[in-house]
Structure 1
Amino acid sequence: MKNKKAASKTLDFFQKTLLLITASVLFWLSNPNIFFEDGLGWLAWFNYLPVFFLIRKCNIRQSILYGAFYGIISYGLYGYWLNTFHPLGLIIVCIAYMIICALLFVGLKWADLICIKNGWLLQFVCVCAYEYLKTLGFLGMSYGVTAYTQWKFTTLIQICSVTGVFGLNLLVIFPSAFLFSLISKKQAKQKLIHQVDFERKSHISAYVKKEKALAVNSLRLTYICGLTWAALFFSTLIYGNYVVRQPVSKKSVTVAAIQNNDSPWKNGIEEYSRNVKNLIQLTEEAQSLSSEIDFVVWPETAVAPSIIYNYDYGNDVRRFMLISQLLNFLDENNAVFVIGNSHEVEFRGAEKQYYNSALVFESGKNVHPPEPQIYSKMKLVPFTESFPLKHTFPSLYVRLLNGGSHMWQKGDEYTVFNYRGLKFSTPICFEDTFSTICRQMVLNGSRCFINLSNDSWSKSTACQHQHLAMAVFRSVENRVPTVRSTASGVTCIISPTGKIEKIAPEFCQAFVIGKVPLMNENSQTVFTKTGDIAGMAEAVLGAFILLIQTIVVIIKKILDKK
């Protein structure tokens, strides 16, 4: 007897572990990864299937443990490239998701317990709510949202111009919940049928009869939900096909996006001078191929010394000479330049402040002296660019600085630039992974995103394609084009429907030249007008149903005691 129990426990542990590993690997492979640079997006439709089965097998305590391991394994595999920047970065992310996913699994288990027959529907809503909520706050990041895996399916993702990425999330996550419900309910139904057959021989049990009827009704609800999803899915494809066939504006400007393949770890005036020289050379090569280039874009912090500060106040002769050389080149050039710069501001009697900025120059207008329009990054990367608890944890703050972190000041304005008929904004680094930031830029009047980024530190194609996948959705949501100029990839031009029109090879010096349409200033998508209502609705609905069902269970227990 003891041997049978031990064998049963061993088998149970093996099944749970297998489900845990399968769920983590599905999440990893569905996103851009070390083996498949674009990710296997079709796997995302089944990402949560093993999670739901794992939850069913666990009790509350076990769900905490398996949730914690799911967070560590899945995000450890997904974000392995953080280790290149600093092992502490990967550790922080894994710890964060260890806690977040432990809470998620507890919530899913509680939903399973309080909604015995149709808990799968509540679990489905809770998963969608989790994926929205995890993007909020200081630690919030959009990396790992399921719908981003569909970035290559241009027709499907057009629905995001109405619902945003979290509306598409409903479509992509639902099949996991549906298949879980279908499989588990069919198994339960078969079990009840056997019970009925057995008890028919010895006076059939009314209870078993009732349970069989409930199982049939519950299975019928699953089919109805499945048919509703199928109708929505095909409607989405029809809508997407209609959108991608719509003509875009015939008016356009020509943009050259430069990729300098610069290492962010190398410092010093010699390195800065070499890099500016390369940027100028690549620009001249691009302009030799096309004399009609209206805009030239250089990546995030492509010019390391502060252009304005070193020109106006700098006492380093070599830096001043470098900036003067750069300004002379800009003033002799006919194109509008968008340049990533480490912008310094000095106030009397106060510490110097540093901003990760985009500077826009136009010859004959704001080059000599340098008086460019400026946008400074507003969403800073946690722990590497911003650490609000530096006075509470000074030792950790020092350790972060010693590890290569560069703390920036936060910008305070969603700047919209207007040059040569193109109204554009410049989300910097991972700002284009946040729908709220880019949406606000469009509400302010922007009709094009020019993203300046530097993912070269990751030395990872997977990292760069994960970032690119999210950038595609910003164009689709707001129906505006995107130009990306990156240090090593992915430098490209994205159409308003999310199609990648031009793309440069990664980890090399390169550039892309392409036409960017001038979009109608008066047109805004439903998403631009309403925002992430789908995500907010999922969070509110999940919390509301959980609360109501919990109250019902408590009241029922009180009445049963009486």
Structure 2
Amino acid sequence: WSETSLMHPAVGYGSFFENYPKENPLLPFIRKQKTFFLIGAPVLLKPLYSKKTRQETIRAMNAAVLFNPRGDVIKYYGKQHPVPFAESIPFWDIPWVREFFQRFIGVQDVWVMGNDPTVFSVPLKDGSTVKFGTPICFEDAFSGLCRTFINRGADLFINIPNDSWSKMVSAETQHFVAAKFRAIENKRFLIRSTTAGVTGIVSPWGKTVKSIPLFKKGYLTYTVPLYTNSQTTIYTRYGDYFPILLMIALLSFLIYRAVHFLKFKSDQ
């Protein structure tokens, strides 16, 4: 399920989801399906205590949470790149910055950034295990983060955006196209589950294997081939080092030419 599918924290909220939502409580629903669920949900963290105000500040992460068939939380991944000025505010920990945004802008709190590119593991019926990384929403635009998932052993990507902020076909399509590059760069399948954007499956060559039309309800089933750790691309291994070296070489050449030109003019 996509980013922030659950409004209440999935971790740190006890047995709340035993009886919520009232019409079809989450945990009994998961047990009934007898399978694993990856769900976008808040995760409560240890509150911060201020000696000055003698108050605790509640903290939470925007996360992808993995439930086992018993409804237990196995592991979660906290979003490392929250959207600036929407999910996070620069220098939020500085008191006067926080007070300004709370008083004049109406922003009362922000998400805490995650700091660990978690790789999830789920056992399969044949006894093997599938591992996957979960870039949340526009984290699919961060190639460095996505290659880290693969270097940590992920066999594929499961991307869970919440694109309901836009009702424009162009914006939704642009986000989907950006995500495709992560599949190509790392030679891994990309499974994408969204609330309003493009839900689909992308092959390691950037081809859309299956998708649901924009703004339409639906579901997809597909058998995804897995690629092992040994099948890593040059980009997965070395990242942006090669283009950085090219930029350094180009800059060095331009400096050399400029110095040579100035020296030539001075000799005249």
Whether the TM-score (by the shorter chain) exceeds 0.5 is: yes
Pick from 118, 127, 130: which aligns with 1:415? 118
**Secondary structure of 1:473's partner?**
helix
Q: Deviations over 1:247-278 (max 9, x none)?
A: xxxxxxxxxxxxxxxxxxxxxxxxxxxxxxxx
Matched, 1:476 2:184: yes
Relative to structure 1, is the Cα distance of residues 506 and 328 closer, same or farther in structure 2, using a 3 angstrom cutoff? Answer: same
Partner of 1:388: 90
Given the alignment of the two structures, is residue 322 of structure 1 paired with residue 20 of structure 2, yes or no?
A: yes
Distance 1:553 1:322 in 2: 73
* Structure 1 residue identity aligned to 2:44: E
The residue type equivalent to 2:227 in the other structure is M
Aligned equivalents of 1:509, 1:356: Cα separation in 2: 24
Q: Which amino acid aligns with 2:12?
A: Y
2:4/2:42 contact within 8 Å kept: yes
> CA offsets, 1:309-349, max 9 Å, x none?
3326x7xxxx7731681011112212211100022223373
Instruction: After superposing the two structures, state which structure 1 stretch, 345-354 or 509-518, moved more.
Output: 345-354
1:551 aligns with 2:249: no
**For this pair of structures, how many residues does the alignment match?**
253
Structure 1 residue 461 corresponds to structure 2 residue 169: yes
CA contact (8 A) 2:18 2:27 kept: no
Q: Spell out the pairing of 1:91-110 with structure 2 (5 A cutoff).
A: none
Contact (CA 8 Å) 2:102, 2:108: kept in 1 or not?
no
Query: Structure 1 residue 542: deviation in Å?
Result: 3.0
Shift of residue 526, structure 1, vs aligned partner: 1.8
- State the Cα distance separating 1:355 from its structure 2 match: 0.6
CA distance in 2, matches of 1:321, 1:334: 18
1:552 to partner: Cα distance? 2.6
| Alignment CA distance shift 1:399-1:437 (3 Å) | farther
The structure 1 residue matched to 2:35, chosen from 323, 329, 335, is 335
- 3-state DSSP of counterpart to 1:552: helix
With over 3 angstroms needed to count, the CA separation of the structure-2 counterparts of 1:395 and 1:554, relative to structure 1, is farther
Query: SS where residue 409 of structure 1 aligns?
Result: coil
Of the candidates 69, 81, 86, which is equivalent to residue 379 of structure 1? Answer: 81
In structure 2, relative to structure 1, the CA distance for the partners of 1:399 and 1:442 (3 Å cut) is farther
Q: How much has 1:426 moved relative to structure 2?
A: 0.5
Match for 2:20: what amino acid? L
Q: Residues 259-274 of structure 1 correspond to what in structure 2 (within 5 A)? A: none
Distance in 2 (alpha carbons) for counterparts of 1:377 and 1:528: 21
Partner of 2:126: none
Give the unaligned 5+ runs of structure 1: 1-297
Structure 1: how far apart are the matches of 2:130 and 2:14? Answer: 29
Partner of 2:66: 360
Seen in structure 2, the aligned counterparts of structure 1 residues 401 and 323 have a Cα distance that, compared at 3 Å, is farther
User: Hey, which of these two has a bigger chunk of strand by percent?
Assistant: 2
Q: Distance in 1 between matches of 2:12 and 2:113?
A: 18
**Using a 3 Å threshold, how does the CA distance of structure 1 residues 550 and 467 change in structure 2: closer, same or farther?**
same
Counterpart-to-counterpart distance in 1, 2:87 and 2:260: 46
* Displacement of 1:389: 2.8
Q: Tell which deviates more after alignment, 344-353 or 301-310.
A: 344-353
**C-alpha distance in 2 between matches for 1:493 and 1:400:** 43
Distance 1:429 1:342 in 2: 14
Q: Which runs of 5+ in 2 are unaligned?
A: 50-55, 124-128
Q: By percentage of residues, which structure has more helix?
A: 1
| Whole-angstrom distance in 1 between the partners of 2:115 and 2:217 | 33
Paired residue secondary structure (2:193): strand
Show the counterpart of 1:525.
233
CA shift for structure 1 position 395: 7.2
Aligned twin of 2:53: none
Counterpart of 2:143 in structure 1 is 435
- Taking only aligned residues, the RMSD between alpha carbons, in angstroms, comes to 2.5
| Max Rg structure | 1
| Equivalent-residue separation in structure 2 for 1:381 and 1:553 (angstroms) | 46
